[in-house]
């Protein structure tokens, strides 16, 4: 399950500043303990029934997301429609946005991913996904902006393609902020350890 979540949120995991996978595994173990029906070794990991345990999961030890963007995000996730709407506030550098490594550019990334529960299959004598159906994640990036300039409020919409809600499959909304610097040719390159990310909502 930890691997599924990690792979599902591929667009933000590069923003981690420490080896978070052990912490993510611990969250999944806590979810597995909620299965009181099956015996040890066969307990399911049903994210769909313990979603709150993943919400707020952060990828950063030294610069947590909430200390980089000091303004609560407003968002709404519609599970039936497979859609998320995020309100990004006005960004005022030094007031509600902190730039840990003082990089010249920044942008935000949002993603909405589907994660299936993991259950033990007696026929296979091992763990398996509750469904083999794969859903591509929805991703939105804001444009790279100078880090010392104000940014106007924005609304971003993420929508899963051909989404049909299914029991045992959760939608995970996550956010990240990247900081970077221009390279030869003008392309802006993300600066490692300069950003932050977290899980916002699981439905």
First and final CA of the chain: distance in angstroms? 16
Q: Which of 173, 57, 151, 24 is nearest to 99 (CA)?
A: 151
| C-alpha pair distances (Å), 203 with each of 6, 12, 140, 162, 174 | 17, 19, 19, 17, 12
Instruction: Output the six-digit token pair for 55.
Output: 């919400």
- The pLDDT value recorded for residue 121 is 87
Spacing of C-alpha 110 from chain mean position: 7
pLDDT in tens, 58-103: 999 999 999 999 999 999 999 999 999 999 999 999 999 999 999 9
For 79, residues 6+ apart whose C-beta sits below 8 A from its C-beta are 165, 171, 203
Q: What are phi and psi of 156, to 5 degrees?
A: -120, 135
pLDDT per residue as tens digits for the range 15-36: 999 999 999 999 999 999 999 8
Nearest CA among 48, 49, 4, 42 for reference residue 119:
42
Measured CA distances, 43 to 28, 29, 118, 174 (Å): 12, 10, 9, 27
Secondary structure in 3-state letters for 38-52: CCCCCCCECHHHCHH
**Joined tokens for residue 199:** 């899980």
- pLDDT tens for each residue of 110-144: 999 999 999 998 877 889 999 988 889 999 999 99
Mean pLDDT, to the nearest integer, of 172-201? 95
The dihedral through the CA atoms of 75, 76, 79, 83 has a sign that is negative
CA dihedral 39, 41, 43, 47 (to 10 degrees): 160
User: Which pTM value belongs to this model?
Assistant: 0.95
């Amino acid at each position: 399950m930890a691997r599924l979540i990690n792979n599902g949120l591929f667009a933000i995991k590069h923003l981690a500043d420490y080896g978070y996978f052990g912490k993510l595994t611990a969250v999944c173990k806590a979810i597995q303990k909620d299965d009181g029906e099956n015996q040890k070794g066969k307990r399911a990991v049903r994210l769909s029934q313990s979603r709150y345990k993943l919400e707020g999961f952060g990828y950063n030890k030294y610069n947590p997301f909430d200390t980089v963007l000091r303004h609560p995000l407003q968002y709404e996730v519609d599970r039936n429609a497979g859609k998320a709407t995020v309100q990004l506030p006005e960004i005022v550098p030094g007031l509600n946005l902190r730039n840990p490594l003082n990089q010249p550019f920044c942008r935000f990334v949002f993603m909405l991913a589907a994660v299936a529960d993991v259950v033990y299959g007696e026929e296979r004598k091992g763990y398996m996904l509750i469904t083999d159906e794969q859903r591509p994640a929805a991703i939105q990036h804001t444009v790279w902006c100078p880090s010392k300039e104000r940014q106007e409020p924005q609304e971003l919409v993420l929508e899963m393609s051909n989404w049909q809600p299914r029991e045992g499959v959760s939608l995970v909304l996550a956010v990240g902020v990247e900081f970077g610097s221009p390279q030869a040719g003008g392309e802006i390159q993300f600066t490692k350890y300069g950003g932050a990310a977290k899980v916002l909502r699981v439905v």
